Chains A and B, each alone.
Chain A
């Protein structure tokens, strides 16, 4: 079993590395790199005089920036220049980047020169609790809702809830979150929760915790609501299917109430297909934090990624892709482990 699991994980890790490498190489080919930003910066801030803004001095600035960031090297081991293929050995950007990443160094941000690792760690301190609590809440709610919907299929409440879930399923996250923001955190309408602005400067730890809980409530709600249909609707279908099987009839015939039959007998069998959704749940939440953190102005990793993409800060973007791929790897591992725990038949023999 361990060998099989290890092989699966190794394959997934290989794919994660490959997609990150592809994004890295593509991002290094794109125009609008840091050298052009630096030139634009200088000419905007007026540090270069009118005479010095000639093409020649721009070229000097550009070259200096490129050399400082190691961008004057070729991008890959093999490049093509002037109709000729050239082999560069290890003196190329991809090799340097790969070696650095394997040593835990993700590079420096183009914008302010800070190490990407530090920036991400700061941001993850916020995003990890948000995503984890969203995952936990959504899973718990899905279980409860699934059991409720499966118990009374035809009732008014179940129909209303089902319609609501169907509506939620088609709504993209940004639309849902924007709606919540405009309804519940709007001075013109209901101003229940804070959605933007600075944390109160002079306050004790307790106040700060309460403040951030208030700030995180709406993002959390949006994330939970957006993954809820994908978790609940298949579960309800599974539960209804299990309730028609022979063992369910037997359980009912020996006098078990419907709720207990569903919980004790049908649920363990209906839960298994749900675990595979877990593989997609974690990355979906990471993608969701991008939208939610931008909208609610939270200082998390999703907003970091979106702002980096908008500002052409490629080292941060590549690191964000790597992080997301790792989140998927984690989801895969978790789903496999839970599958093994719950259903011994799935363990590959030998």
Chain B
């Protein structure tokens, strides 16, 4: 893509930002194979709170428990690559699908045949082993009758809308978004992580759960704009099925703002995850991240190097992500 490469060549700040992020990803991905003299969690009890100038072998010093700061930085980068990045990817995927579906189908346009709802209900009833066999039999009977009726009605030229009911997709998605938004993300995260320490997949799922509404809202808004475009009418007039129009024609256009939104969303989640680690909630004592490193400076405020390096890494990452978002949005609007 020539225009974007051109932007890269002209703006040194953007190149710096991209370089830093690339470095982080490479370090995070290769962390287990890097030749580091110390592990992030094993304390070096001979050199506790040693400054970078006086200690031997600890290039960035050690914290008040004797853990190597450089190894901690690398472990934090690895956590970024293994936890936050997949969480953002999952959140954007979920949010895009939900928001695009809600924006395209709205409350009225998606009509499900009543028979399908009946069959699905019966299958759920049976799958969950809910009590009441008579009810299940009744449900199956009604579903069968509806299927027959729908099949007969479909032979009429105008009968295919009979025995269907609209699924309020937009209302459902908006309801879930409002529900998750009625408490700030940090508070909800603290409350849901209040149990015993979470494993990485659980924390990943939790972060994705908290992050998807933003992407969904953005894509939904863009989808409203896309639906008003003339090519949508043209696609419908040419007789394409709605699902195909949605997937092939509307979705790619609705995803355009995500290019600038992705880095910002990632920055938000990095901040959120670091804040949780900083508060020490839902984390095992042996997990090292930038947030937990920053928290450990409170035990010994004279050891400035424990706070400065992770703080700088975090700040630079967030700044680079913001720069990347600006770059992407200017590339999109060009």
Chain A positions within 8 Å of B, measured between CB atoms, are: 12, 15-16, 18-19, 22-23, 26-27, 30-32, 83-85, 166-167, 169-175, 178-179, 181-182, 186-188, 283-284, 286-287, 290-291, 294-295, 305-306, 308-310, 312, 314, 317-318, 320-321, 324-325, 328
Docked-complex contact A174 and B194, CB < 8 angstroms: no
- Tell which of B190, B298, B315, B322 touches A295, judged by Cβ atoms closer than 8 Å: B298
Docked-complex contact B195 and A312, CB < 8 angstroms: yes
Known: A172-B274, A291-B278. A305 touches B311 (CB 8 A): no
30 contacts between A and B (CB under 8 A): A15-B178, A16-B182, A18-B182, A19-B179, A22-B179, A23-B191, A27-B191, A27-B194, A32-B196, A85-B129, A85-B131, A170-B318, A170-B321, A173-B275, A174-B274, A174-B279, A178-B311, A187-B301, A188-B302, A286-B184, A287-B187, A290-B190, A305-B190, A308-B194, A309-B194, A312-B196, A317-B190, A321-B187, A324-B183, A324-B184
Q: A173 to B311: give the CA distance in the assembly, Å.
A: 12
- Tell which of B187, B194, B275, B294 touches A30, judged by Cβ atoms closer than 8 Å: B194
Give the shortest distance, in Å, between B140 (CB) and chain A (any CB).
19
Interface check B193, CB cutoff 8 A: yes
Chain A residues positioned under 8 Å from B186 (CB to CB): 287, 290-291
Give the shortest distance, in Å, between B115 (CB) and chain A (any CB).
26
Interface check B121, CB cutoff 8 A: no
Docked-complex contact A324 and B179, CB < 8 angstroms: no
Docked-complex contact B298 and A170, CB < 8 angstroms: no
15 other contacts beyond A85-B128, A85-B130, with CB at 8 A cut-off?
A: A16-B182, A18-B179, A30-B196, A170-B321, A178-B307, A178-B311, A284-B184, A286-B187, A290-B190, A291-B279, A310-B279, A320-B187, A321-B187, A325-B183, A328-B182
Docked-complex contact B191 and A318, CB < 8 angstroms: yes
Q: How many chain B residues touch the partner (CB < 8 A)? A: 45
Most buried by A among B185, B194, B314: B194
Chain A residues positioned under 8 Å from B307 (CB to CB): 178, 182
Tell me the chain B residues, 158-202 only, with Cβ under 8 Å from chain A.
Answer: 178-180, 182-188, 190-196
Docked-complex contact B275 and A317, CB < 8 angstroms: no
Known: A171-B318, A294-B279. A309 touches B191 (CB 8 A): yes
Interface check B116, CB cutoff 8 A: no
Most buried by A among B179, B183, B304, B319: B183
Docked-complex contact B196 and A31, CB < 8 angstroms: yes
B318: nearest chain-A partner, CB-CB: A170
Known: A170-B319, A182-B307. A30 touches B129 (CB 8 A): no
Chain B residues positioned under 8 Å from A26 (CB to CB): 192
Docked-complex contact A310 and B280, CB < 8 angstroms: yes
Chain B residues positioned under 8 Å from A31 (CB to CB): 195-196
Chain B residues positioned under 8 Å from A84 (CB to CB): 129, 131
Docked-complex contact B304 and A182, CB < 8 angstroms: yes
Chain A residues positioned under 8 Å from B304 (CB to CB): 182, 188
Docked-complex contact A167 and B319, CB < 8 angstroms: yes
Docked-complex contact B183 and A182, CB < 8 angstroms: no
Docked-complex contact A309 and B130, CB < 8 angstroms: no
Chain B residues positioned under 8 Å from A325 (CB to CB): 182-183
Chain B residues positioned under 8 Å from A16 (CB to CB): 182-183
- Give me the 6 closest cross-chain CB pairs, A-B, nearest first: A30-B195, A172-B271, A309-B194, A287-B184, A170-B318, A287-B186
Docked-complex contact A172 and B275, CB < 8 angstroms: yes
Docked-complex contact A170 and B274, CB < 8 angstroms: no
A181: nearest chain-B partner, CB-CB: B301
Q: A81 to B70: give the CA distance in the assembly, Å.
A: 50
Q: A309 to B188: give the CA distance in the assembly, Å.
A: 11
Q: A318 to B280: give the CA distance in the assembly, Å.
A: 19
Give the shortest distance, in Å, between A350 (CB) and chain B (any CB).
23
Interface check B235, CB cutoff 8 A: no
Give the shortest distance, in Å, between B71 (CB) and chain A (any CB).
21
A87: nearest chain-B partner, CB-CB: B131
B310: nearest chain-A partner, CB-CB: A175
Chain A residues positioned under 8 Å from B18 (CB to CB): none
A313: nearest chain-B partner, CB-CB: B194
Chain A residues positioned under 8 Å from B301 (CB to CB): 181-182, 186-188
Known: A172-B271, A182-B307. A321 touches B195 (CB 8 A): no
Give the shortest distance, in Å, between A300 (CB) and chain B (any CB).
14
Tell me the chain B residues, 272-304 only, with Cβ under 8 Å from chain A.
Answer: 274-275, 278-282, 291, 294, 297-298, 301-302, 304
